[in-house]
């Protein structure tokens, strides 16, 4: 069982108090590296979710001043940085990613609170220079209402930080529902919120438990005005359908299928380094990691060799062990998917460059999938059509720009893309035609707190990070003021 100074309580948090499920039920959280039981966490249901929403709604009655919100955001930034080693340890134990990477995620999360504090004046009311209709016009950014924040397991604290920083910035009280696979890092964050901040009761609530009943309760509750969700496209689509009656505002950060284009005129060593950093973070379980690597034919042999050389050096193992680069996949179903994609690619003519079928997994933990590289991938393969979410690098050749563009855009998902070329004019030509809101130009970098990030098409909508992200949880209210007499 996990033991931590950040767990004086292993409970959910509603209206400023730690709570159990009404019926006392719990669910198990285990370590994906070795299956060890880490904790029993309360399995709340619709009734407790209703209480959390009521607490959030009640907190709306006293909207916090901008200066108060800035103080909260700064305090969370500091608390996360001060506790990054312990938060990172908890994150590694429940997720599997290497401890150094987990601490990097904690710093990434802190960055969203720091950025929101720094740019909070964006939400100050503004008075228009124009005075149409003889009125003075002021635009206010009010809290949108009580909001729900639903987050996935792949970045347990990073994904929540994007949402919670913006909801606190807006003064919108939140009900947080973390993934049942990785609730512990979020629970530790709530300990810090309670310990280090003076949040009013109900401003931040944590409901843990099965997604179905909690999700339905949040979706069906008219008091929740914004539901911000990061997760799979299938669940996002269900949320769109379920939110229609209420006209609830949704922010949806869904799956990705990022192409990584390498032209023969690119610096191939740099491109290979960036590919490794991009593809193997979180063992390939990130929405922005590349799924399809498109390489101009004359560069294919050299690039495949450079990638394979680098990937072969990566150490796979328990994320708490020294020198490990890749932890286990989250569970057996994640492992089965990567293995299915690999076998399907080989079956359909792809050629292994690095790695071989690691065989079926007998149990639901220890899903250590080795870095794997194949050549000859193409649009008919599962690894092309679906998000693999694992350390499989499928290399596909292209002949010219037109073919590269066609292949890159051959997906319903629109999140991130990467383009490597030594020709600036080519990049300027191609970037506007790549159907992805995030395009790394000679970099495999994903999002950062300072810049807006989000999807299009079946990768969802809404933005997190940057000034745009600060507007996700506000309602604009416009007040024209007349001059009587
Ligand atoms: P998921 O199965 O869709 O779950 C995401 C969250 O939603 C979890 O908290 C889950 O709870 C909850 N959930 C599941 N069904 C729900 C429902 N019917 N109503 C309300 N909530 C529900 O996704 P995941 O497997 O955790 O995450 C991986 C996916 O997230 C990938 O597709 C990845 O690309 C995507 N992702 C996207 C971004 C982005 O920025 N676009 C970032 C990170 C991840 P339980 O865990 O309790 O089931």
Other beta carbons within 10 angstroms of residue 362's beta carbon come to: 7
| Catalytic-residue membership of 383 | no
Q: Is 185 helix (H, G, I), strand (E, B) or coil?
A: helix
**Residue 92 main-chain phi, psi, to 5 deg:** -65, -40
Residues of the chain with CATH 3.40.309.10: 258-448
Confidence tier at 485 by pLDDT (50, 70, 90):
confident
Q: Among residues 48, 101, 253, 387, which one is catalytic? A: 253
The helices-and-strands tally (H runs, E runs) of the chain is 15, 22
Residues of the chain with CATH 3.40.605.10: 12-254+459-478
Q: How confident is the model over 253-294, as pLDDT tens digits?
A: 999 999 999 999 999 999 999 999 999 999 999 999 999 999
Within 6 A (CB) of ligand 1 lie: 150-155, 159, 177-181, 210-212, 215, 230-232, 235, 238, 253-256, 287, 387, 415, 455, 459
Q: How confident is the model over 439-464, as pLDDT tens digits?
A: 999 999 999 999 999 999 999 999 99
Q: Which helix (H) or strand (E) holds 394?
A: strand 392-398
User: Distance between CA 77 and CA 80 in Å, rounded?
Assistant: 5
The sheet carrying 136-143 orders its strands as 126-127, 136-143, 474-481
333 burial via Cβ count (<10 Å: 0-12, 13-18, 19+)? exposed
What's the chain's average pLDDT?
98
DSSP secondary structure code for residue 227 in this structure: E
CA 336 vs. chain centroid, Å, equals: 22
Residue nearest to atom 41 of ligand 1 (CA): 253
**CATH of the domain spanning 12-254+459-478:** 3.40.605.10
- What's domain 258-448's superfamily in CATH? Aldehyde Dehydrogenase; Chain A, domain 2 (3.40.309.10)
User: Distance between CA 318 and CA 295 in Å, rounded?
Assistant: 33
Q: What's the pTM? A: 0.97
| Catalytic-residue membership of 253 | yes
Spacing, Cα 15 to ligand 1 middle (Å)? 25
Residues 237-245 have a mean pLDDT of 96
E strands, 180-301, where? Answer: 204-206, 224-230, 249-253, 258-262, 290-296
């Amino acid at each position: 069982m996990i033991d931590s100074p950040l767990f004086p309580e292993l409970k959910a948090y509603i209206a400023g108090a730690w709570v159990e499920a009404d019926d006392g039920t719990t669910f198990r959280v285990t370590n994906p590296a070795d299956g060890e039981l880490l904790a029993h966490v309360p399995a709340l249901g619709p009734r407790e979710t209703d209480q959390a929403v009521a607490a959030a709604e009640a907190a709306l009655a006293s909207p916090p001043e901008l200066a108060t919100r800035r103080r909260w955001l700064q305090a969370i930034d500091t608390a996360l940085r001060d506790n990054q080693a312990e938060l990172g340890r908890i994150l590694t134990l429940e997720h599997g990613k290497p401890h150094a990477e987990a601490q990097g995620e904690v710093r990434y999360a802190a960055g969203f609170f720091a950025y929101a504090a720094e740019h909070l004046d964006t939400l100050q009311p503004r008075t228009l220079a124009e005075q149409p209709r003889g009125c003075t016009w002021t635009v206010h950014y009010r809290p949108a209402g009580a909001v729900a924040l639903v987050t996935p397991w792949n970045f347990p604290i990073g994904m929540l930080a994007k949402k919670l920083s913006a909801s606190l910035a807006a003064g919108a009280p939140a009900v947080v529902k973390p993934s049942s696979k990785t609730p512990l890092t979020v629970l530790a964050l709530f300990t810090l919120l309670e310990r280090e901040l003076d949040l009013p009761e109900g401003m931040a609530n944590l409901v843990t438990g099965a997604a179905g009943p909690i999700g339905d309760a949040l979706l069906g509750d008219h008091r929740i005005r914004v539901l911000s969700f990061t997760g799979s496209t299938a669940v996002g689509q269900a949320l769109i359908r379920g939110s229609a009656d209420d006209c609830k505002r949704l922010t949806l950060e869904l799956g990705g299928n990022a192409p990584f284009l390498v032209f023969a005129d690119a610096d191939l060593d740099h491109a290979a380094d960036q590919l490794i950093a991009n593809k193997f973070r979180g063992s390939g379980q990130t929405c922005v990691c590349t799924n399809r690597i498109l390489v101009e034919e004359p560069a294919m042999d050299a690039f495949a060799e450079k990638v394979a050389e680098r990937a072969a050096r990566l150490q796979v193992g328990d994320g708490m062990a020294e020198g490990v680069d890749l932890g286990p996949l989250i569970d057996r179903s994640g492992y089965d998917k990567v293995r299915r994609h690999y076998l399907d690619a080989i079956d359909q003519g792809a050629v292994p460059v690095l790695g071989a079928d690691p065989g079926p997994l007998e149990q639901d933990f220890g899903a250590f999938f080795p870095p794997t590289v194949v050549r000859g991938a193409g649009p008919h393969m599962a690894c092309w059509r679906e998000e693999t979410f694992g350390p499989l690098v499928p290399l596909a050749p292209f002949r010219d720009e037109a073919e590269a563009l066609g292949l890159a855009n051959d997906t319903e998902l629109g999140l991130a893309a990467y383009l490597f070329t030594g020709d600036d004019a080519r990049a300027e030509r191609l970037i506007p035609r790549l159907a992805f809101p995030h395009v790394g130009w000679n970099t495999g970098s994903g999002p950062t707190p300072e810049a807006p990030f989000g999807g299009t098409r079946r990768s969802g909508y809404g933005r997190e990070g940057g000034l745009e992200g600060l507007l996700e949880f506000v309602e604009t209210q416009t007040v024209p003021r007349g001059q009587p007499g």
